[in-house]
Amino acid sequence: MLSKKLSVVCILPVLFLLVGSTAVQVSNHRAQADIDQPYTFVPTPCTFIDTSDLLFLSTPADELGYKCGYVIVPERHAYPDGPTIRIPVAVLPAQGPVVKPDPLFMVQGGPGASAFDIFPFLVPNTPMAADRDIVMINQRGTQYADPELVCHETIEGITDLALLPMEEGLDVALEQIETCRQRLTSQGIDLSAYNSLENANDIEAIRQVLGYDEYNFYGVSYGTLLGLHLLRDHPQHLRSVVLDGVVPPQLSFIEEATQNKNRVFDELFRTCDQDPECASSYPNLEDRLENLVEELDVNPVTIHIKDKETGEVIDARLDGDALLGILFQSFYLDHPYAIFPRLVMDVESEDYLFIEQLWSLVAFDRSFSEGMYHSVICAEEVNIDPDQAPTGGERPYLNRSSREELQSYLDLCDIWQVEALPDHVNEAVQSDKPVLLLSGQYDPITPPHFAEMVDESLSNAHHIVDPYGSHGIAFDGACISQVIQDFLNNPTIQPDASCLNSPERREEFVPADAVTVPIMAPLAQFDPGALNLLGVASIILTVLLSTFLVWPIAWLVSLIRNRKPELSSEQRRLRLAGRILLLLFGLLALVFAISMTVFIITILFTSLSYLSVYALPARVRPFLYLPYILLLLAIGIWVSGVLLWRDREQALWEKVYYSLLGLCAAGYVLLLGLQGFIL
């Protein structure tokens, strides 16, 4: 996706989180067919799998069946008596009654991303988890490994970067990276040991220590390059390989980034132009984007990004480069074609909610090991010439920063100072092992033709392209999950992937009249604060609705006891007006809560693209006037409450109860305001 700091904070749209690079192999680290060394597995509680966000499930991972621990391996496998490191591993035993002996090993991309951030959410309910053990592995140097090559300096320094234009931001970012390197090397860490070849050795070590004979391997993005290394250097125990978002070792990956960017914009513009509804709702889309970029270059705007962990909100500069960078990040979401036109329109309308949310998620991602990313990239991608790299050429406004982006990698690697790898590792991998190659038509960084290049030297490979997919398609619905399961069951047979072409899988474009609803952003991210506020709102609403029970009961009691208060007509009108206001408030608040719930549940089952851009269908618009009506009613309730307390003839219990209800009404309106329903 995007380079964690040079491309997130300075918004250079090249790689993020699931990015690959070229092959890694140092001559004196040449992998053997089978590593005959003693490795150690140390069981540990599954603290690196956070189940608190698993659909509100708080059961510890250990109780869900996970078996976790650390595999202790040499920092450099060629020197078994040298320093050791710890690789975190989580095993989810097969869930079904019949268990196949060959597990599925799973690794993330990056390089530097955490497998435990995503796979525990996606894998357990898939067919592949039913009859095989799932072995989730965080690679050396990543989160929870020991050591972690996390550059805290870059996250702590975001405030210094976010308001700077790209060129100035690069200089500051490089200073932060140099500080990170000095800290890591002062701890005795050999940064050159954190490369793809040692990664592949680790996978073989994990197989040995867990006692598996044959195994299947799944890697996404950079993980596909690791899978290709395994095919070349450790093929003996591989049963089959699934490569999702394929990175060919035989090309300079970073040099291709600009052309890939042009390609995905081509796909997105073409998709909208060829769809009558999109073309009519979003005419002249490309011209509008180019005008936006030019306008933001001349008049950049200040937006606000939030560190979810600390709650800190900082200002950030949104100029043309920043806009293109964040839009590029959105292409990693499922079905990017469905939301892209709407995102352009939102920025035109000065609605920056999506931009702020996505920038915040990426910029403050503490699960990403930036040091690991730098070590792998600098060992494998330093043979680039910014002046000779292909630029794609079609769109100057997209390509204007391509040279600076490429140069930034060279500058970075001058600082990081790891061993460069010999040229022969950039050769195509040849193998007759069964391999399933997966591509998404809208993949912004590993397009389908990358997999086609790899396919040429694999004699038993099957290439499948999802016509609606983006980067990493393996968990995009039941269809592709079954395709993968069929391949794992019979890896030498081409799996039937015809279901991927079903029109029912195609997401509809988010229409221009869809309504942005700010509460959708924290809900989509399972933000605990927003969920707590919803819980408080539910309690308040329950108290408000108690009027429909309390007042009828109070009337029956007074009727039975024949104790009707002697009130003047004016006093009766005051009490009646107050009760009507409260009953109406409770009723409308209930209508609002139910309508929002129905709309949100509906899009969850019909069109997730709305959720991606934090919007609801246009028919929700009338209901969004209800919070303003509730505000007026709350004011009326408080006026009535003041008058009620001034009336000495009214019963004390009713005054207290009415005041409680008035506080609840004010609190409910306040919560609506905090969630953006009242501006």
Please tell me the predicted confidence (pLDDT) of residue 570.
Answer: 75
Residue 675: partners with Cβ closer than 8 Å, 6 or more residues away? 518, 519, 530, 533
Residues 633, 366: Cα–Cα separation, whole Å:
44
Residue 221: pLDDT band (50, 70, 90) is very high
Region 546-552: what's the mean pLDDT? 86
Residues 632-649, mean pLDDT to the nearest whole number: 85
Structure-model confidence comparison of residues 666 and 558, the more confident one: 666
472, pLDDT greater than 50: yes
* Rounded Cα distance, 47 and 60, in Å: 8
Q: What is the mean pLDDT of residues 293-307?
A: 95
Q: What is the pLDDT of residues 567-606, one digit of tens each?
A: 677 777 887 888 899 999 999 999 999 999 999 999 988 8
Spell out the residues 6+ positions from residue 678 whose beta carbon is closer than 8 angstroms to its own.
627, 628, 631, 669, 672
Return the pLDDT at 219.
Answer: 97
Per-residue pLDDT band for 43 (boundaries 50, 70, 90) equals very high
- Token pair of 249, please? 């070792």
| Sequence-ordered strand ranges (E) for 408-547 | 435-440, 461-466, 515-516
pLDDT at 6 over 80: no
Local confidence band at 16 (pLDDT 50, 70, 90 cut-offs): very low
Region for 395 from its dihedrals, namely left if φ exceeds 0, alpha if ψ lies in -120 to 50, beta otherwise: beta
Residue pLDDT, tens place only, 435-468: 999 999 999 999 999 999 999 999 999 999 999 9
pLDDT for 645 equals 81
Q: With a cut of 50, say whether residue 13 has pLDDT above it.
A: no
Residue 403 — pLDDT band, cuts 50, 70, 90? confident
pLDDT at residue 187 tops 70: yes
pLDDT more than 70, % of the chain: 91
The predicted structure's pLDDT at residue 28: 31
What pLDDT sits at residue 96? 82
Residue 25's pLDDT is 30
More confident residue, 101 or 655: 101
The first and second tokens of residue 674, run together, are 């905090």
Under DSSP, the state recorded for 434 is -
Residue 51 has a pLDDT of 67
Token pair of 656 as six digits: 């207290």
Single pTM value for the model: 0.88
Q: In this predicted structure, what is the pLDDT of residue 191?
A: 97
Concatenated DSSP letters of 166-224: HHHHHHHHHHHHHHHHHHHHHTT--GGG-SHHHHHHHHHHHHHHHT-SSEEEEEETHHH
Model confidence at 393, pLDDT cuts 50, 70, 90, reads: low
For range 601-623, the mean pLDDT: 92
From CA 506, how far away is CA 266, in angstroms rounded? 19
Residue 59: per-residue pLDDT: 67
Quote the pLDDT of residue 563.
64
C-alpha to C-alpha distance for 671 and 372, rounded to whole angstroms: 42
The partner residues of 415 in beta bridges, in order of sequence, read none
Residue type, 660: L
- Residue 299, classified by CB atoms within 10 Å of its CB into exposed (0-12), middle (13-18) or buried (19+), is exposed
Share of the chain above pLDDT 90, in %: 68
Q: Domain ranges in the chain?
A: 27-148+195-253+427-505, 255-366+389-402, 515-674
| Domain 27-148+195-253+427-505 part of CATH 3.40.50.2020 | no
Any idea which residue has 């513009």 for tokens?
269
For the stretch 475-532, pLDDT in tens is 999 999 999 999 999 999 999 999 999 999 999 999 999 999 998 888 887 777 788 8
Binning pLDDT at 50, 70 and 90, where does residue 425 land?
confident
Once rounded to an integer, what is the mean pLDDT over residues 607-622? 93
Q: Are 532 and 631 in contact (CB under 8 A)?
A: no
Give the mean pLDDT of the chain.
88
The residue with greater pLDDT, 575 or 624, is: 624
Q: What value does the mean pLDDT take over residues 60-77?
A: 90
Position 523 scores a pLDDT of: 82
Question: What local confidence, expressed as pLDDT, does residue 35 receive?
Answer: 45
Q: What is the average pLDDT across 413-429?
A: 88
- Give residue 80's pLDDT: 92
Higher-confidence residue of 394 and 178: namely 178
- Among all chains, which residue has been given the structure tokens 């195609």? 506
State mean pLDDT over 343-368: 95
In whole angstroms, give the CA distance from residue 163 to residue 588.
43
Half-sphere exposure of 409 (CA within 13 A, CB side): 31
Q: Which amino acid makes up residue 507?
A: E
